[in-house]
Structure 1
Amino acid sequence: MEGLYIIGGSPCSGKSTIAEMIAEKYDFNYFKVDDYLEQYMKKAQEDGKPLSARAMQMSPEETWMRSPRLQTEEELEIYREIFTYIWEALSTFPEKKKIITEGAAFLPELVSAVGVDKKHYINIVPVKDFQYHFYSQRPWVPYILEGCTDKKKAFENWMERDALFAETVHADAKQRGYACLVTDGSIGIDEMFRTVCNLFEL
């Protein structure tokens, strides 16, 4: 898909904001993978994918009180299980209009496997302190953790999982020669936007 541009990476990094800015400025179709994650996981469950099936049945306590490393490993595997559905969805967009898509599901290994050009893919990951600071301010976080007996520990596990996920993505992107932007709050969203647009040669 020559007209496809992808932003991968980890949560709380600015992926969605930049993708929205690109869609608005360049009149691209915008596909936000997170809006369809539950749908794809249900599909994977129906198709007998084990980790997606298990995740769909887990309570918040079971989800967030696991070790962060195990959470990271299973999250990576779930993205591997659902990637086919994401790629199929992208293929349904009209070819006459370019597409900007973003989501943590776009792992470097998966994007590499389908042959995406290095000028059409970037990862954005936050440093741990930046991620922790902004996530702790989001009003919907308590709803995600509802049902956990120790919400503080559950939140710490969540943040550690995302930090480990960011490290994994950053290392794999570097190994495969893909761009990865690390954000710590020292540059604004407009500068990040220009950096991504320059990589995409827009």
Structure 2
Amino acid sequence: MRKGGAAVAGSVLWIGGPPGAGKTTMARLLARRYGLRRYHADVHTWEHRDRALAAGHAAAARWERLTPDERWSRPPDELLAMSLHHERGPMVAADLRALPGTPGTVAEGTPVTPGVAGAGDHSLWLMPTPEVQRARLAERGIAPGVAALYRLLLEEIEAEVADAGARTLAVDGTRSVADTFAEVEKLFAAALATGSPAASGAERARLERYANRAVVRQHAAYFARPWTAGDLASTVRSFACECGRAACEAEVPLALADFPGAPDGAAPDCDEPACPPVLAAGHPAPEE
């Protein structure tokens, strides 16, 4: 891998940036078009926090002890420390090293820093203006305390990327999603040309299963905490259709407890009929 990056097996495209940048959308589009595995750092949040707790990380332990109101009213430097922004980057790299080398992976998330991803043609940071970020967070109904942390992360990531001389794409509200994706494709063109995409519909389906299962595991780890409310049975999320067709963009709403492999969501990948694919209405099962 390029100088300055973490040693991660296989072909990885890295997309970093603060919350509200559009990282998840760009990664999803890249993964579908080019047959790549999609790694979304957000769905590993609680797993990473558990690793930090096991390692005795003081800020992680402090965050767990505080009530929600107490957490989000802390001073900026404490908010940033409790976010584990710097600690989670190496955890992301460790997750990626544990994945198969092929097909390639597009990894995105706020913890993706130049120190982890390097500053070459395999990495890109989407950087929204403060105005764009503010508007997008408002659309999502993000609480004021959380929004304050997200603004801090924008400033922190801007400084990290500038120090590393890494590639950025400005997100200023003037481009559509399609136009932004076209720019991302152009910037990743050299890396995509040497990538290792999924070879069959069945392989693409397994990649979607990987991403879908991570969502279930994320919620299972969240609900396991003593201060949370809710459960897998009462929580509905949208999952990517696992038909394996490259052009498929369908999503399937499903209670987490009904996802194949539930109730704990942490069972290893399994074959039919025990774990049939999650399919949109009228979509056929994937073919090898």
**Aligned-partner residue type, residue 168 of structure 2:** C
Answer yes or no: is 1:101 the counterpart of 2:103: no
> Where does 1:55-134 land on structure 2 (aligned, <5 Å)?
55-75=63-83, 78-111=84-117, 116=118, 118-134=120-136
Identity among equivalent pairs (%) = 23
* Range that drifts further, 22-31 or 51-60: 51-60
Label 1:169 to 1:120 Cα distance change in 2 as closer, same or farther (>3 A): same
Q: Give the C-alpha shift of residue 121 in structure 1.
A: 0.8
Counterpart mapping for 1:31-70 below 5 A: 31-70=39-78
Return the structure number with greater relative CO, CA threshold 8 A, min gap 6: 1
Instruction: Please identify the structure whose Cα radius of gyration is greater.
Output: 2
> Separation in 1 of the partners of 2:120 and 2:28?
21
Q: Give the aligned partner of residue 150 of structure 1.
A: none
* Residue 27 (str. 1) matches residue 29 (str. 2): no
- How many angstroms does 1:159 deviate by? 2.7
Equivalent residue of 1:191, what SS? helix
Question: Of Structure 1 and Structure 2, which has the larger fraction of its residues in helix?
Answer: 1
Cα root mean square deviation, aligned: 1.9
Partner of 1:8: 16
Q: TM-score, normalised by structure 1?
A: 0.81
Structure 2 residue matching 1:186: 3-state secondary structure? coil
Matches of 1:59 and 1:34 in 2, distance apart? 21
Q: TM-score normalized by structure 2?
A: 0.58
The offset of 1:110, in angstroms, is: 3.4
Per mean C-alpha deviation after superposition, the further-off stretch among 9-18 and 66-75 is: 66-75
Q: Which amino acid aligns with 1:104?
A: T
- The 1:85/1:109 distance shift into structure 2, 3 A limit, reads closer
Q: 1:29 corresponds to which letter in structure 2?
A: R
